[in-house]
Structure 1
């Protein structure tokens, strides 16, 4: 079996290198197809979740990717390629039966995997957290770079088993809430959930203001586990974006100790799936010193989507 450092470009793809990738959604119905391929009968998988042991009766060859759910999880479903996922993957040479890679991955968008492993992206479409997915991936669904790193020759299929450990929301999906506070910024959402913030021509609040725009029904943020979020931040005075995970192309994990006090106070107790509009006065933000492009004394405005709790990041 190859050592993991030798295939860092395969399973350890840098999130920085993948920023800006496009995303596409699975079929609207989001049904998992019934696999109808004799190739899957050649694959045997044992072992606990996260520790798959794969044996095959080689050769396994397919001209289109096929897969089946050996176990069906009851967690969140992958309904968009913009969602972040984390899984363990075991990849086997379809011709020789050699195990090429067995490793866990970092949290990344499904669309990022699709750039190198369209076959993996197909296996993930509509899958649910906690599932074990067994697939035979066609050569055309592996990029040339991925096939080379794995040591696969032209036209060679790969057998891939995924244990899907975490699925995060692509954007807040909670129930819209009514807010009638005057003088607050307005928020408009693009179809993918990306927020635009319009700051009114008015004096900024002097106290911390937190409005729940969408109320999620997930677990609360307690501080014991890092929260995975999407956010956009602007300054009140110039309404200019100074930071945005949406623009960076990757969500972020934060702890309550790792953000400014106003951000932490706004997050604490809120639930996964919620979207927040937060106005942070200078004394709960970066104070009179400022930070980077944020001037001293700035009032900050954030829209925050809580995508999930990320215990891996906490560890």
Structure 2
């Protein structure tokens, strides 16, 4: 399996709730326990079995961790073990989770990424088993800690071998919202990809934004970098001109790097939300000819917000 890079999993801080069901002493190393691990094959994760013997994790759940590696440690497979078994809801692909992550270079032991430093109360993201962060927590109960190994090259040619420790703090509630009269209608396939049907009414003259799904996840602020799935279609005729679902991978960009109407659809929304936006030419591409987007086109977007990385000024 090919994984997307770590950067595409960046997301935001929010209030954390530690659920019941944690075990293990904070003063003792936590060794992987085969009996407490989810069956990776059954739940669709890419893991082939337990992490190698001798790999240990120390530290409080939801707190800083220390990873101890055996001499000459060099993972050769994508593997995962549960070192703390939680008692909460089992997480599945597509759930919104608040969690802590520590990424360690498997060869040197250097901590490469620690969300406690940037998001001390937890990082929110939509679980995706094609992502190393999503795979680390899929099909385990909230309140659990897992340790995963990823061989050299997993994240692309030249990437080092990784160890990832993940604490599943809380599942973030989401709610579907009834459609709004006069807006395009959206039906969603099993893989999450939307089909957009345009109304018979004339295109609006101002940008209209409606939620199809709301979330209690972290909010996108002006200038943040978002990870999203989106599909864009022409209001006139309904032709799809761009879709990350069709491309097979989400997109990542700052909210300042898109047309004004799309930016309005992102800022103020929460991780886990689905947004429907109708954008007139004045807040789209105006009279520009963009090839698949004719001049003076009204645009319709369905956007799933998967994660957010706050702009530097928002984290200070």
With the shorter chain as reference, the TM-score category is 0.5 to 0.7
Q: State how far apart, in whole Å, the 2-side matches of 1:299 and 1:165 are.
A: 44
Query: Partner residue of 1:5?
Result: none
Structure 2 unaligned blocks of 5 or more: 9-39, 115-124
Q: Give the CA deviation at 1:180.
A: 3.9
1:125 aligns with 2:144: no
Query: Partner residue of 2:246?
Result: 247
- Of 57, 70, 73, which aligns to 1:56? 70
Query: Partner residue of 1:175?
Result: 175
Q: State how far apart, in whole Å, the 1-side matches of 2:217 and 2:81 are.
A: 30
Are the structure 2 counterparts of residues 66 and 203 from structure 1 closer, same or farther at C-alpha, using a change threshold of 3 Å? closer
1:147-166 matches, cutoff 5 A: 161-164=163-166
Query: Partner residue of 1:110?
Result: 129
1:96-107 matches, cutoff 5 A: 99=108, 103=112
Q: State how far apart, in whole Å, the 1-side matches of 2:262 and 2:228 are.
A: 12
Q: State how far apart, in whole Å, the 1-side matches of 2:134 and 2:272 are.
A: 23
Query: Partner residue of 1:43?
Result: 55
Contact 1:131–1:163 (Cα < 8 Å) also in 2: no
Contact 1:230–1:245 (Cα < 8 Å) also in 2: yes
Q: State how far apart, in whole Å, the 2-side matches of 1:177 and 1:241 are.
A: 23
Are the structure 2 counterparts of residues 144 and 259 from structure 1 closer, same or farther at C-alpha, using a change threshold of 3 Å? closer
Q: State how far apart, in whole Å, the 2-side matches of 1:61 and 1:280 are.
A: 49
Contact 1:69–1:132 (Cα < 8 Å) also in 2: yes
Query: Partner residue of 2:147?
Result: 134
Query: Partner residue of 1:3?
Result: none
Q: Give the CA deviation at 1:226.
A: 2.1
> Residue deviations 1:219-270, cap 9 Å, x none?
2222153222211000111311111111111212333311111111222222
Contact 1:83–1:109 (Cα < 8 Å) also in 2: no
Greater percentage in helix: 1
Are the structure 2 counterparts of residues 110 and 221 from structure 1 closer, same or farther at C-alpha, using a change threshold of 3 Å? same
Contact 1:26–1:80 (Cα < 8 Å) also in 2: no
Q: State how far apart, in whole Å, the 1-side matches of 2:223 and 2:209 are.
A: 21
Q: TM-score, normalised by structure 1?
A: 0.60
Query: Partner residue of 1:155?
Result: none
1:248-287 matches, cutoff 5 A: 248-287=247-286
Give the number of the structure whose alpha-carbon radius of gyration is greater.
1
RMSD across aligned C-alpha pairs, in angstroms? 5.2
Q: Give the CA deviation at 1:77.
A: 7.5
Contact 1:43–1:57 (Cα < 8 Å) also in 2: no
Structure 1 unaligned blocks of 5 or more: 1-8, 16-24, 93-97, 114-119, 152-157
Q: Give the CA deviation at 1:289.
A: 1.4
SS in 1 for 2:294: coil
SS in 2 for 1:233: strand
Query: Partner residue of 1:220?
Result: 219
Contact 1:232–1:302 (Cα < 8 Å) also in 2: yes
Q: Give the CA deviation at 1:124.
A: 4.2
SS in 2 for 1:111: coil
Contact 1:129–1:164 (Cα < 8 Å) also in 2: no
Contact 1:26–1:125 (Cα < 8 Å) also in 2: no
